[in-house]
Structure 1
């Protein structure tokens, strides 16, 4: 029986009409696995020519640990004056309870009562070992009702850099047909009423004058390391310790032809935007991970390296300020029904802003009438599970995954109209949308910005087909992003077992074209099926298998995770990446 392979390869964008063994490499258990019927998993030649990243490290505890139900000091907001369902604003009481939680020693749980609490202030979580918990997101559970947007409430300074950036570069939404010519809102992709951020950190970098020198946080230079392996050699271990969470950082200091751009995009013919070389002292790729062993000058980290490191692929290990064990669970966040002011003009009806978190989670949360449900940044090893977004307001994001590593979003339900319901955004890596259900106008948003090695897995997408002179079609891959961050994604973004339900616009006898715009190189599209026959039009051409086929492996993430649990090991069957040319 053939071994299983997870490795790597190279391709191009046009307008639209944990602690398991390192993988990303050939994997084989002591007993050979049964054939799956998927050539990309079963056939060694196909697997080596079209390698797959190992996505199973996404989520809390590098994918292996269950989400905790932590104990700790219970801080009941009713003890600070909050009273549900009395139509009186509870903001002062909630702020007092949060202040008490921040002052307390050890783990804390801020408990919300059943019923509706009214909030008109930002609730900030600025320490670790902190859980905000309700009595459930449904009827009879706990709801934070927020009548006013951040535009009228936020008095903090954490977005001042973003505001200055928007002003300096005159970033505007211009729609002449709607008489719109307005500066972007800072709340379009940032901020939330539950705002998680370690003081002094930046969710994202905008202005170079705010960039600290990379040397100030450097712990060691990386001398060598191989993509897909977990060991690397460093110039010094003096500032390193087992158990420390650090950032492995890759820099492009060689301009348009840098080796890191080759690693990110292969031999693509797509144009690569200028932000990839404009800031040479700002990491272009960041992998937040944990040191699990040190032996001489060899350091072992918890998850496989995204890229080779050392030599032309200049990389270091840097200190990373973050919060650990932060959770939001069992509650609802609701805003008043209403219309949206427009794309990029959102006023800030944003529920959760999750930044600078390692080993954190959001689970069992319902969000109604938001501009954005959950926005992320500068985080890693986070699980977002069983979240529902609903309501009438046209939202910008349901769940936004940006500037993060190893984030797992499982069992998301998107019931509201959203511009970007499933968004992999700037500098996201090894992150996964698993078993999402999207209604209305589903779109897979690969939002440029050097995002790469991400997975859309076992999605259920309910669409209304459109028509042109060629017949029925739907823009399933409908990304966005600024030109200076193109292309839409880097190598090895993967789309696995997409279930598309056409609810209108095409007869049962028609073939529906599922169209992508200018996406990115070396995508994998494996398994597309539903209640119609489909044709995939993805550009540049991806590795394509299993169209109009029901896969025997419903979830790639779960499959790879199970293989890790079984102790799959590297069989070294594929030659080194540089020993063969990338097929196109």
Structure 2
């Protein structure tokens, strides 16, 4: 790994902000904009970062292999789609050739690469990745690239077998988009927040739970009997069935009902916001909080984790180690994915021009992918330790999501570029925890969305947004969010915004108010600045530091990574 060595001078001053006199700052791979740590005053970092009594999560474990190594150059036996009948640029459908290449790859032991050369390929069916050590790879030679063109949406295909539960759920609960003023009363699409033409997950994988009659939870491996939040070890009742290297879930439950103590841990003082949704207590058999982790060491019943324990192991929350069926070492890279600019359907009624649906994967990545005219660029669920980098969404079609993080853990999305308008660009959705958007640009109708549903302790880090306002407007809902009432509030404690650079065109004279939710509990809002003076309206009980100051340390994630590597 390349390291940039920065020798800093005023040792005592640097010690006050947590930096040594001569410190190695690890530069992210292929990132020419690595954070620069230089002699600065102690006020250069927000007080909460440098260690006051207010809690700030450590986000530095997000990403491929907990951010500990650069993304690899993928190697493996190559299965070139042109060897199986695909012809770039001939105007004919290449789906069957792709499936033949995949079948040959799946029959091979060891890492495999299904490879597209430069050119335009037409595809019209879902490509399911259901085994580990699998790469889907295009070719990027600058001007000449691999383009996958999908002329038809997912709604034109037979309903995927794994969507039977979702289909029944939407019908039974009469899920419809109702907009009286727009004369809209239409059933939700299967693909509003799920599904994609490139789809990962083990065979028969259930990425989300909708109907209780489909619940079939695996028996816990063992109870977690002791553990303190942020520690790297836990005690279990019986470690005999756990091995070093196992990738498992730690699950916490709310068995105490509407006034469960775990809800206070997640949301703090509930008198500070109006509504706590009923999904927090109506499904006591389902975990309310989940951590995905790897066992790195074992000493009897004491287990060492790859990343810090998310919550205390309190007996009333019945924490347990639970099996998790997942794929590892999946990569998707060097592709342009293109859809036609279809008719804009109402919210939640999208046709399903969805590119990537990432479920059931661990230690995997997406790199150098551009998606044009999608309803959703990436939708993710039930995944962890994933990196998404150099990902662009563009086109004239209004999207639902650009990058959606659903029930995921320790996911890092960096160097994103959002050029198109979307309902929810950069969205932390239901059950998203300890995940990060970093070093990214939202160029159209920006919204840093936190979408309700027990999502908490997530980070927007080093984000640049571009806002256009009418000349008489002085308020913009940059931090607003969505989500159903049964999953309110908008997010749990300790969700964090760091170094948010807001560029405003137009607007009224004077300060611009950047508004957020009224139920966004105990957010950390650090270093919001831009080309105007800003006020922030975000409740309840936010910590707001260095408003209208550009942080000298550009990335909180990189800073925390550096601190734990000392």
- TM more than 0.5: yes
How is 1:83-122 mapped onto 2 (pairs within 5 angstroms)? 83-122=87-126
Whole-angstrom distance in 1 between the partners of 2:511 and 2:40:
35
How is 1:450-461 mapped onto 2 (pairs within 5 angstroms)? 450-461=454-465
Aligned residues: 531
1:338 correspondence with 2:338: no
Describe the shift of the 1:33–1:503 C-alpha distance in structure 2 as closer, same or farther (beyond 3 A).
closer
Whole-angstrom distance in 2 between the partners of 1:533 and 1:154:
52
Runs of 4+ deviating beyond 6 Å: none
Counterpart in 2 of 1:40? Answer: 47
Using the TM superposition, give the Cα deviation of residue 159 of structure 1 relative to its aligned residue in structure 2, in angstroms: 1.3
Whole-angstrom distance in 2 between the partners of 1:183 and 1:370:
20
Counterpart in 1 of 2:548? Answer: 548
Counterpart in 2 of 1:311? Answer: 315
Whole-angstrom distance in 1 between the partners of 2:406 and 2:419:
22
Using the TM superposition, give the Cα deviation of residue 465 of structure 1 relative to its aligned residue in structure 2, in angstroms: 2.5
Counterpart in 2 of 1:281? Answer: 285
Whole-angstrom distance in 1 between the partners of 2:105 and 2:385:
24
Q: Retained in 2: the 8 A contact 1:246–1:318?
A: yes
1:185 correspondence with 2:220: no
Describe the shift of the 1:512–1:304 C-alpha distance in structure 2 as closer, same or farther (beyond 3 A).
same
Q: TM-score, normalised by structure 1?
A: 0.88
Counterpart in 1 of 2:26? Answer: none
Q: Retained in 1: the 8 A contact 2:240–2:300?
A: no
SS, match of residue 477 in structure 1 = coil
In the TM superposition, what whole-angstrom CA distance separates every residue of 1:227-269 from its partner, at most 9, and x where no partner exists? 0111111100121000100001001110011121111111132
Q: Retained in 2: the 8 A contact 1:35–1:42?
A: no
Counterpart in 2 of 1:79? Answer: 83
Choose from 263, 266, 277 the match for 1:264: 266
Whole-angstrom distance in 2 between the partners of 1:442 and 1:55:
23
Counterpart in 2 of 1:210? Answer: 214
Describe the shift of the 1:459–1:209 C-alpha distance in structure 2 as closer, same or farther (beyond 3 A).
same
SS, match of residue 558 in structure 1 = helix
Whole-angstrom distance in 2 between the partners of 1:253 and 1:3:
42
Whole-angstrom distance in 1 between the partners of 2:548 and 2:428:
25
In the TM superposition, what whole-angstrom CA distance separates every residue of 1:549-568 from its partner, at most 9, and x where no partner exists? 111221100100111121xx
Counterpart in 1 of 2:468? Answer: 464
Whole-angstrom distance in 1 between the partners of 2:156 and 2:537:
44
1:127 correspondence with 2:134: no
Using the TM superposition, give the Cα deviation of residue 154 of structure 1 relative to its aligned residue in structure 2, in angstroms: 4.3
How is 1:13-412 mapped onto 2 (pairs within 5 angstroms)? 35=42, 37-41=44-48, 44=51, 47-48=52-53, 50-136=54-140, 139-213=143-217, 216-269=218-271, 270=273, 271-412=275-416
Question: Which stretch of the first structure deviates more once superposed, 332-341 or 454-463?
Answer: 332-341
Q: Retained in 2: the 8 A contact 1:137–1:365?
A: no
Question: Which stretch of the first structure deviates more once superposed, 335-344 or 166-175?
Answer: 335-344
Whole-angstrom distance in 2 between the partners of 1:368 and 1:217:
43
Choose from 463, 472, 475 the match for 1:473: 475
Question: Which stretch of the first structure deviates more once superposed, 255-264 or 493-502?
Answer: 255-264
Describe the shift of the 1:53–1:152 C-alpha distance in structure 2 as closer, same or farther (beyond 3 A).
same
SS, match of residue 562 in structure 1 = helix
In the TM superposition, what whole-angstrom CA distance separates every residue of 1:484-529 from its partner, at most 9, and x where no partner exists? 000000010000010000022244xx21110113342110000011
Using the TM superposition, give the Cα deviation of residue 34 of structure 1 relative to its aligned residue in structure 2, in angstroms: 8.0
Whole-angstrom distance in 2 between the partners of 1:520 and 1:255:
22
Q: Retained in 2: the 8 A contact 1:137–1:366?
A: no
SS, match of residue 396 in structure 2 = coil
Q: Retained in 2: the 8 A contact 1:191–1:350?
A: yes
Q: Retained in 1: the 8 A contact 2:332–2:365?
A: yes
Using the TM superposition, give the Cα deviation of residue 313 of structure 1 relative to its aligned residue in structure 2, in angstroms: 2.6
Counterpart in 1 of 2:530? Answer: 530
Q: Retained in 2: the 8 A contact 1:340–1:371?
A: no
Using the TM superposition, give the Cα deviation of residue 217 of structure 1 relative to its aligned residue in structure 2, in angstroms: 3.1
Whole-angstrom distance in 1 between the partners of 2:330 and 2:158:
22
SS, match of residue 495 in structure 1 = strand
SS, match of residue 544 in structure 1 = strand
Q: Retained in 2: the 8 A contact 1:463–1:503?
A: yes
Whole-angstrom distance in 1 between the partners of 2:255 and 2:317:
9
Counterpart in 2 of 1:505? Answer: 507
Using the TM superposition, give the Cα deviation of residue 43 of structure 1 relative to its aligned residue in structure 2, in angstroms: 5.7
Describe the shift of the 1:402–1:107 C-alpha distance in structure 2 as closer, same or farther (beyond 3 A).
same
Using the TM superposition, give the Cα deviation of residue 182 of structure 1 relative to its aligned residue in structure 2, in angstroms: 0.9
SS, match of residue 78 in structure 2 = strand
SS, match of residue 139 in structure 2 = coil
Q: Retained in 2: the 8 A contact 1:338–1:392?
A: no
